[in-house]
Structure 1
Amino acid sequence: MTEWLGFVTGAICVWLTVRTNVWTFPVGIANNGFFLVVFGTAGLYADAGLQVVFLALGAHGWWQWLRRDTAGGRLEVRRGGPRAIGVAIAAVVPATALLTWLLTAVHDTAPFWDALTTALSLAAQWLLNTKRIETWYLWMAADLIYIPLYVAKGLYPTAAVYVLFLGLCGYGLRTWRRTPGHPGGVAVAVA
């Protein structure tokens, strides 16, 4: 049941993210609670620990998306600059190495893949919290690894929701690229 609740809240969360709706964060926080239980039970300790980190990042992202900038405007969807993207990608390599070492020590069932997806997800969440379009590329990379990992672990509903996430990431990328302020973008309603 917990895995199915994770499926439903996860799908709603990503859909709300695509729509740039701030309710993505409270729904995402509920999703993190469900998947914390699912991944802990499956022995995917980095994925379980990631849910705890996502709880904190979700609260931070919620605040980021609600606050006003100094000009009184809300945070808008935008491209990440070379520095932001470089930092996000560069952080993945040492984070993966460190987490692989830690996860091997605690007998994680898939230490490297669990570490890599965790590092990619953290970098993607950081970009999401600041509404950077490139968040979608990192989420897609993580999903392409998550899907076969969860199938191998027998977590079929979770693998299925990650297939859905992958499709929603493509849709999210297209939608966010069409937002005002993006080069070549067209005006679309953004909640």
Structure 2
Amino acid sequence: MDKAYRFEGTYLQWLKEELTGWDRFPWALFGFGVGFQLAILLLNPINWIAVVSFIGIFFGMWCTVAMGAGGYDSEGNRVSSHAINGLLGSISVIAYVIINVSAGHYWSVLDQLVFLFLIDLPLLKNWRTWSGKSTEIKGLTKMGWLYVIVAILAAWFVLYYVGIYLHDTNPLWDALALAIGGTASWLCFRQYSTTYTLWLISDFVNVLLWFTALKDGYSQAALPMLAMTLFYTATAIVGKINWRPNKVQ
């Protein structure tokens, strides 16, 4: 984080700053995703879970696009992401918690809460001083990668068996989603670019999770959530490109 950076305007001025200067592709990606989700909403039965899913996915897609959207600030500095994803992500978390509780994906509920406390809330708190300048982004060493992989596998093993005890509807993939997603949130909190590699893998796991939900028919939100995870995969790729570390620490 750039210690010297501080936004001196009002919150509304900051919001305007955060929503301008983006590269065109992130906005195009967001527009495509919203249009696709709107079509799913209108072509299927509309009830409370469908509406909650659409609202959550709308803000969730906006959040993930903001996390990896390259662009320039008002002073012409290149930035790799935008802190407004803290506000957008906080809104989406509420909906995602409701959706995952209704689907019986209890570890995904916890995954959302980890994301909220490690990423969204700190961004909401530090909106004046957060900087998306890519010079401070770090990468993992080979030994660091080894620690991460071992931690994920150990967490997956434990969470899987606890998930069975809790009657999670899909303990295999739900446990892995939390193991990877929670680790990615922690690395993002510590400013590591590796987070996008893990979120990319987590997105594939969530595709399997929601594909299973769609196939087995235990959640009405399965189709829009499946489409959302495919969208998240695309934004993770964009984010990984923008969050290139300049040095390994």
1:83 and 1:5 map into 2 onto residues whose CA distance is: 41
Segments of structure 2 that go 5 or more residues without pairing to the other structure are: 1-50, 70-80, 215-221
Report whether the alignment pairs 1:53 with 2:114.
Answer: yes
Question: Could you tell me the TM-score, scaled by structure 2's length?
Answer: 0.64
Which of the numbers 6, 28, 39 marks the counterpart of 2:100?
39
Amino acid at match of 1:57: L
CA RMSD across the alignment: 2.6
Q: What SS class does the counterpart of residue 108 from structure 1 fall into?
A: coil
Q: Which has the larger radius of gyration?
A: 2
Contact 1:64 1:75 in 2 (8 A): no
Instruction: Tell me the residue number matched to 2:231.
Output: 164
Alpha carbons of 1:74 and 1:143: their partners in 2 closer, same or farther (altered >3 Å)? closer
Give aligned pairs, total.
178
* Identity of matched residues, %: 23
Instruction: Tell me the residue number matched to 1:6.
Output: 56
Contact 2:90 2:116 in 1 (8 A): yes
Segments of structure 1 that go 5 or more residues without pairing to the other structure are: 184-191
1:166 and 1:24 map into 2 onto residues whose CA distance is: 17
1:61 and 1:77 map into 2 onto residues whose CA distance is: 17
Alpha carbons of 1:94 and 1:61: their partners in 2 closer, same or farther (altered >3 Å)? farther
2:127 and 2:150 map into 1 onto residues whose CA distance is: 25
1:16 and 1:24 map into 2 onto residues whose CA distance is: 6
Map Cα deviations across residues 64-99 of structure 1 (whole Å, 9 max, x no partner): 88668xxxx998222133454333322111111111
Contact 2:138 2:247 in 1 (8 A): yes
Q: Which runs of 4+ in 1 moved over 6 A?
A: none
Question: Could you tell me the TM-score, scaled by structure 1's length?
Answer: 0.82
Instruction: Tell me the residue number matched to 1:186.
Output: none
